[in-house]
Each structure stands twice: as C-alpha cells, then as structure tokens.
Amino acid sequence: MESPEVTFTLAYVVFSVCFVFTPNEFHSAGITVQNLLSGWLGSEDLAFVHYHIRRSSATLLIHSLLPMGYFIGMCFAAPEKELYYIHKATEGWKVFVLVAVILPLVTSTVAFYWSQKRWSNHPLARTLAHHALPQSRWRAVASSINTEFRRIDKFATGVPGARVIVTDTWVIKATTYKVYVAQQQDIHLTVTDSRQHELSPESNTPVQFITIQVASINPKVKPFDIRLNSTEYGELREKLHAPVRNAANVVIHQTLSDLFLETFRSLVETNRVYDLPSNQELEPCIGCMQTSASIKLVKNCQEAEEGECQQCYCRPMWCLTCMGKWFASRQDQQHPETWLSSQVPCPTCRARFCIVDVCIVW
Ligand SMILES: [Zn+2]
Ligand SMILES: [Zn+2]
Ligand SMILES: [Zn+2]
C-alpha cells in the first residue's frame, strides 16, 4: 500500500504537467488558464493582442502558484507531518515553502510592471513597438493585427501551446508565455527540418511535421521557428507573399498518399524478397517508364488456400513507387487507419494482395 504522500505527489506532478502543457484531454475538459479566466481575458477574436497580453501574464502568474498548491495539498494529504507548523518542518520543506512564496511574488511583480501604462511594458507590446512606424505607437500595430486576425481567410494551425497564425501582413506564433510577431514583408522563410510519424497500428494517420524558420531583416525581431503539418503547407504558401527556401532539401509530403508512400516503402523493404529466375529480365515499369520494374506479388501472408489474398502470376511489371501509388489509390481516403490491413487487386490480373505480399525483386 502506497502512502498518501506518494500518491498525492504523483497525482500533483501529473496534474501540473498536464496543466502547463495542456494535452488535448485537458482542453476538452476545459482545464486551461484560458477557460478558467475566460471572462477576464475577453475575446481573442475581438482583440487578439490584448487577449494574449492578458493570457500570457495570467498564465505566468498561475503557473508560478503550482508549488504553493503542492505544499497546501501536502498539508492535507499528510496531516501527521504537521507541515503547517512550518518552523518545525524539515530544512527541505522550509526551502520549498520559501521558493513557493517567492516565485508568485516575483511573477506578480513582473505582471504588475507589465500592466503599467496600459500594458505598454508587456513583452508583446515591446515586440509590436519594433514594428511601429516612427510616428505611430505599438497600439497602431496591435489594431492592425486585431483587424487581420478577425478575417476568416487567415491561416491558423498548431496545438494550443504553439499556435501559428498567418494573416495578410503578419506571421504570428503564440506559445504559452510568449507571442512572436514578424511582418511578412520583412521575412525570409526557410524549411529547416521535418519529422515523419509513419502510419502504424498505433497512430492511425501518417503525419509529417515541418519546421520553418522565420527570420526578419528587422534586427530587433529575433528569428523563430514555426511547425506545421505537411498537408497544411500548400495553404500556408498561399497566404505567404515571400517564397519559402528549402535549405535542408526536405521532401514535403503534401497529401496523404505522398505520406503513405514512405510507410509503404519501408514496410515492403522488410518483406521477403523475390529471386528473379535467371532466364528472366526486368522490363521498364509500365506505370512510369522511368525505372525498371522491381516488384513481384507473391502470396506470403497466409497458406495458399487460406485468407482473401490470391496468388498473382504476373511477371514483375511495376516499380515500388508505382505499386505504392496504386495501393494508396485503391484505399478508402477517409479511413487511413485501414490502409495497412486491406487487400487490393493486382493492377494487371486483379488477384487480391496485401502489403505483406509485395516483394522486391532481387
Ligand atoms: Zn513505376
Ligand atoms: Zn497479377
Ligand atoms: Zn496477402
């Protein structure tokens, strides 16, 4: 039996991590700073900048109260320790309580300083001031952003802790504590990285995330990275006026079929290979005529008479890419989670095959 202290500590750590990093489950349950303070924060749609100024300040303040919450909770979870008589507690607890008191004092002082002169000291207001024309002030920039954010043709994506918003004039990234802003006419965009999560029984859709660095020619605007799903890349490009450089030569898979091809290829590479009889020669792939055929369908998934798959007697006629495209094209586009387990007909003889039956000719 675990002690209530340990149970409480574990539960509090999990709660704190979820509260700070807000996974989807917490969002749907409404346990976020945005939801708890929605009345005071106002509407993001009506006043984007003011909403985020208040949201980031409140988030900082509330997160800094978490250690104090742990101490108060512990007083109840382990009453025998009599922690509320702090002068009698251990050195470790004294230090913890000191930190738990100082932290919110520091953050509330900072937040109070930010709120002075109608929030002109807030980092976001200062960021916006870097974009203000000499004769105007940060509030003019804020109202330009507010107006453009209200338009429905903006590009918006990302998880709540790292949202990306692109409007006609601005590229904005809103994270938990900080909001990054760059003006479209000043920026260079570079694709720097990509990460692919392949289609697997655990994750039912293949996804590729690409990282784009946003660098401004305005020396006061520090470069920042935005991340998005590769399938949204086309939409982002439409919203951007500047070209996007691809320094890392990242292959961007913009459709589900593109993404699937990667998975298909890597799975087929682990399948059994097919030894080409010595009297046969490989012809060019009849799909693309670019490379020689390299795939033979051999029923390997089950015994000859079992299951839905059938033996195909065609000679190798297709390359791996064309076979992957064929396989993807015969799938239910709405249900990628079924792709790996389904059978499709051979493009030539219509014998049904599954992904295990796709063999690379050796
Ligand atoms: Zn081909
Ligand atoms: Zn066939
Ligand atoms: Zn099969």
Q: Ligand 2 center to residue 206 CA distance, Å? A: 28
The domains found in the chain, sorted by start residue, are 4-125 (no CATH), 151-254 (2.30.29.30), 265-360 (no CATH)
Give the pLDDT score at 174. 96
Query: Considering every ligand atom, which ligand is closest to the CA of 284?
Result: 1
Whole-angstrom distance, CA of residue 284 vs CA of residue 278: 17
Query: Considering every ligand atom, which ligand is closest to the CA of 353?
Result: 3
Q: Ligand 1 center to residue 324 CA distance, Å? A: 9
Give the pLDDT score at 3. 85
* Residue 223 half-sphere exposure toward CB, CA atoms < 13 A: 12
Q: Ligand 2 center to residue 345 CA distance, Å? A: 8
* Both structure tokens of 55: 């949201």
Q: Ligand 3 center to residue 187 CA distance, Å? A: 51
Angle between helix axes 320-329 and 256-269 (nearest 10 degrees) is 130
Q: Ligand 3 center to residue 196 CA distance, Å? A: 27
Q: Given the structure tokens 């792939």, which residue do they identify?
A: 285
Q: Which helix (H) or strand (E) holds 58?
A: helix 48-63
Q: Do the Cβ atoms of 284 and 292 come closer than 8 Å?
A: yes
Q: Ligand 2 center to residue 264 CA distance, Å? A: 19
Q: Ligand 3 center to residue 301 CA distance, Å? A: 4
Q: Ligand 1 center to residue 292 CA distance, Å? A: 7
Q: Ligand 2 center to residue 297 CA distance, Å? A: 7
Give the pLDDT score at 335. 80
Q: Ligand 1 center to residue 280 CA distance, Å? A: 19
Give the pLDDT score at 181. 96
Query: Considering every ligand atom, which ligand is closest to the CA of 314?
Result: 2
Q: Which phi and psi angles does 73 have, rounded to 5°?
A: -60, -40
Query: Considering every ligand atom, which ligand is closest to the CA of 346?
Result: 2
Q: Are strands 352-353 and 162-166 parallel, antiparallel or unpaired?
A: unpaired
Q: Ligand 3 center to residue 299 CA distance, Å? A: 5
Q: Ligand 3 center to residue 253 CA distance, Å? A: 27
Query: Considering every ligand atom, which ligand is closest to the CA of 308?
Result: 3
Q: Ligand 3 center to residue 256 CA distance, Å? A: 23
Whole-angstrom distance, CA of residue 121 vs CA of residue 221: 17
User: Which amino acid is residue 54, in one-letter code?
Assistant: R
pLDDT mean by block of 10 residues, the chain; 362 residues = 86 92 78 86 92 95 96 90 84 94 97 95 95 88 96 89 93 95 94 78 71 94 93 90 83 80 90 90 89 94 89 93 90 80 91 94 90
Q: Do the Cβ atoms of 265 and 253 come closer than 8 Å?
A: no
Q: Do the Cβ atoms of 244 and 212 come closer than 8 Å?
A: yes
